[in-house]
Amino acid sequence: VDFAAHSNPVDMTPQTSSLNYREVMAELAGDEQIGGLLAINVGLDRQEFARGLVAARNESQKPVLAYTLDTPQLDGILQENGIHNFPTLEGALRGFHALLNAHTLADTDEKQTFEPVEPGSEEAELWLKLCGKPQSNEFEVKQLLQAWGMPVVRERLVRTRGEIETAAQELGFPLVLKICRDEIIHKTEVGGVVLDIRNMSALLGAWERMEKKFPGGPFLLQEMAQAEVELILGGRRDPLFGPVVMVGLGGTGVELFRDIALGLAPLTEARARHMLQKLKSYPLLQDFRGRGPLAEEAVVEGLVRLSALMCEHGEIGELDLNPLLVGKDGVRAADAAMLIGM
């Protein structure tokens, strides 16, 4: 067609017959020099455009994204066939750039240097218990994390004064006391956390106050672990992309700074490291102000293991480790939460 633009980007123009859409898209998708398609359509709501794009994707098995405006008929067809239609052109370009980065990383992925944890019978029994309810308490979630090779802080589940005294002697001060119930995820908001408990008298006083507010507990007694940096590791199950893993600056800075990076599971070490290096706060893991580098490789391994856990158990809708305490010698999860289902 003389009036169409044949270079990159290809412009079929509104004058092009809708009968040509599929042929043109198939020709582009079949070109060995083209790695994917980004289809743009503004206001020309012809279903042949969407069906031609779907056919080109199916035949070439190449990645396809779209940006359309005022095209409800196209939107429905694209959505039904799993082609993501971005709300803005800028978003579509960023999505296409992300696909390019993912492909580049895939070419450079190295073999994992650690042996994945093989879930055993103990993990299987725990999982059967956890997947039978919509959400689990912190202690149970961290047991699952440990079964997958992710370190957590030392802690004990307690209910009585005697159990608290014994656990305190085992763990040593300072300590943290938390309410530990399935239905309470945000423990701080309900007054269910006491930090930096320095001696037995203070611990028993804190327990008595917590017992009045939450009769029968149970409670979680933890070591008051310190860290150079607090991160958040998380996973979400997206209806379109499947399991998505996240890392970012954690603790109280999560909502304030929103310094996060996302990646599609399963992650390899290269992709996990790339996510970590994208953070604005990444320099904190280096030799910041002369205090020496932190355990970056332990964070990378934690991301890989978390992504494997999300892939293995498709019932997990959300999983958060916040904060993940990062020091020079390793990492430990101080808190964790999990939801079953989307």
End-to-end CA distance of the chain: 47
Residue 220: the pLDDT is: 97
**Residue 341 backbone zone (phi > 0: left; psi -120 to 50: alpha; other: beta):** left
**Cα separation of 11 and 40, whole Å?**
9
* Chain centroid, CA 89 distance in Å: 25
Residue 214: the pLDDT is: 96
**Cα separation of 214 and 207, whole Å?**
10
Q: Spell out the per-residue pLDDT of the chain, length 342, in tens.
A: 455 556 677 777 676 777 788 888 898 888 888 888 888 888 888 889 899 999 999 999 888 899 988 888 889 999 999 898 898 989 888 888 777 766 665 555 555 555 555 656 678 778 878 888 888 999 999 999 999 999 999 999 999 999 999 999 999 999 999 999 999 988 999 999 999 999 999 999 999 999 999 999 999 999 999 899 999 999 999 877 789 999 999 876 666 778 999 998 989 999 999 999 999 999 999 988 888 999 999 999 999 999 999 998 989 999 999 999 999 999 999 999 999 986
Q: Identify the residue whose tokens are 């055993």.
A: 120
Whether 234 and 141 have beta carbons less than 8 Å apart is answered as no
Residue 1: the pLDDT is: 47
* Chain centroid, CA 216 distance in Å: 34
* Chain centroid, CA 167 distance in Å: 33
Q: Which of 298, 339, 309, 313 is nearest to 138 (CA)?
A: 339
Report the helix count and the strand count for the chain, using DSSP H and E.
11, 13
Whether 265 and 311 have beta carbons less than 8 Å apart is answered as yes
**Cα separation of 293 and 286, whole Å?**
4
Indicate the DSSP class of residue 12.
-
Residue 202: the pLDDT is: 97
